Structure 1
């Protein structure tokens, strides 16, 4: 995962420091990672990664299954973690390339990232986006000090999606994947976008505040190596209320003790004598 400005990783996940000197703010992704159960998707995916590796390497796995079983088991158990780390690294590089392109800065020549960057360019061109005229912000930090959270918005851009082609301000989150269909999204994407949409302020490059722009639409821009899709998400007030519930759960979990003392029976001499009673 990329490291936004003022963000830092802690034992409780990512938090943002406040240049104004206030308390640290929990990150939006930290809240979602802590309070939203993703096992319904991650467990089958992890099984799929492992099974595909075994089927693709049957002879090698069979040769080691008896003589090298403990080491083989460790390697197979690590496969899904390594695949997840590779996907996260690719996502970070795609985000960096997207930000550089939107800012008009040089884009690193990364052969693996190039197809995704090309899809972003195609998407921008298809909507007639003028980078100097229609882009409001990219990779901008958003604060909600009153509720105690912060996050980074990938892109705020004007798109002609209103009645009669009227420009509307969109909040867009990039998602890259080498395997998922271009139109696929997760429910928690709505929580992430709603949390950012209803922040109170954004942080300017000089660390001063500005009011959060009034976002009219929100969506996920899925970037794939050969396709792309902008998927609108219902990041409305009801989604923000759901995020606030996850935020409360995260606060409780982060403040809870990690261990509790066991209850021991009283010493024999301290036990009440029922017969005497």
Structure 2
């Protein structure tokens, strides 16, 4: 990389030292990390919108979450009705209980996020052949997730090509971290494709088996990863995004078992993702500027008397 002189740039004033340029990142530091809804490529300076942020802002997922939150607050209220009635009799306890009740969705969301994060850490360690993180080794809550994941790998004869890999599409302006890429002769047979086919894979831990837990947004998410242009390896180097099939699989992993759900993530789904991305751009950008302040009635000068 060579230094360039910008047209119109002026030399630093005498006696003042120019701040030396930051050293270019090396090794794994070159891998973009998510921050405030963006991935920043430290090598090129590109800012790529986080795929999950795009989906939360541009899809109907927000409506689903709002309904879920309302139902959870109502369920929590009826479960703790005697406690709520008792607290309502005094202003100080009423305010405290009101705050506790309205935060029920946040507590549940944080709980699910903690479980999901822990499960992904366990899976990543197993995929890479590394020890399970020490804080999760003896975690009884995590044990059934690990057991069912290992059963999935054995029963479907799964081998992994990549895990927790950051991928991006500079042209479309987005990036994300895919769960894994895999091969499985049994999954391939079920999908009627070649046994050597590489498939996009994702793990979901919410909801209930055979009821809910895998939503259409999973297809949008995987289609975006599938159409990435670049992938970052663990040493920080980049490679073109590996080709994957137009159908991926979601491992719905729960303490009581697992289900393997095929999910379409082909070009037509990617086209839908791009529409969602435009909607997210509207929500986060232009929509904030289109409604102005109320107009004041203009003052009208009185005509001089004839």
Calculate the TM-score normalised by the size of structure 2.
Answer: 0.78
Aligned residue among 262, 266, 276 for 2:293: 262
In the alignment, the residues of structure 2 paired with residue 118 and residue 111 of structure 1 have an alpha-carbon distance, to the nearest angstrom, of 11
Judged with a 3 Å threshold, the aligned counterparts in structure 2 of structure 1 residues 207 and 264 are, in CA distance, closer, same or farther, namely same
Deviations 1:63-122 (A, max 9, x none): 112323333222111111111111111111111111011111111312222211111101
Structure 1 segment 61-72 matched on structure 2, within 5 A: 61-67=84-90, 68-72=93-97
Equivalent residue for 1:227, pick from 254, 257, 273: 257
Q: Structure 1 residues 251 and 233, CA, compared in 2 at 3 Å: closer, same or farther? A: same
Whether 1:181 and 2:209 are equivalent positions in the alignment is yes
Matched, 1:238 2:268: yes
- Whether 1:145 and 2:170 are equivalent positions in the alignment is yes
Count how many residue pairs are aligned between Structure 1 and Structure 2.
262
Distance in 1 (alpha carbons) for counterparts of 2:304 and 2:197: 82
Aligned to 1:88: 113
When structure 1 is superposed on structure 2, of 228-237 and 62-71 the one drifting more is 62-71
Q: Secondary structure at the match of 2:198?
A: strand
| Runs of 5+ unmatched residues, structure 2 | 1-30
List aligned pairs for 1:124-139, cutoff 5 A.
Answer: 124-129=153-158, 134-139=159-164
**Of 46-55 and 255-264, the range deviating more from structure 2:** 255-264
CA-based RMSD of the aligned residues comes to 2.3
After the TM superposition, list the runs of 4 or more consecutive aligned residues in structure 1 that deviate by more than 6 angstroms.
Answer: none
Unaligned runs of 5+ in 1: none
Partner Cα separation in structure 2 for residue 26 and residue 275 of structure 1: 61
Q: Does 1:9 align with 2:32?
A: no
8 A Cα contact 2:250 2:260, kept in partner: yes
Q: TM-score, normalised by structure 1?
A: 0.86
Distance, in Å, in 1 between the alignment partners of 2:282 and 2:193 is 47
* Separation of aligned partners in 1, 2:294 and 2:75: 47
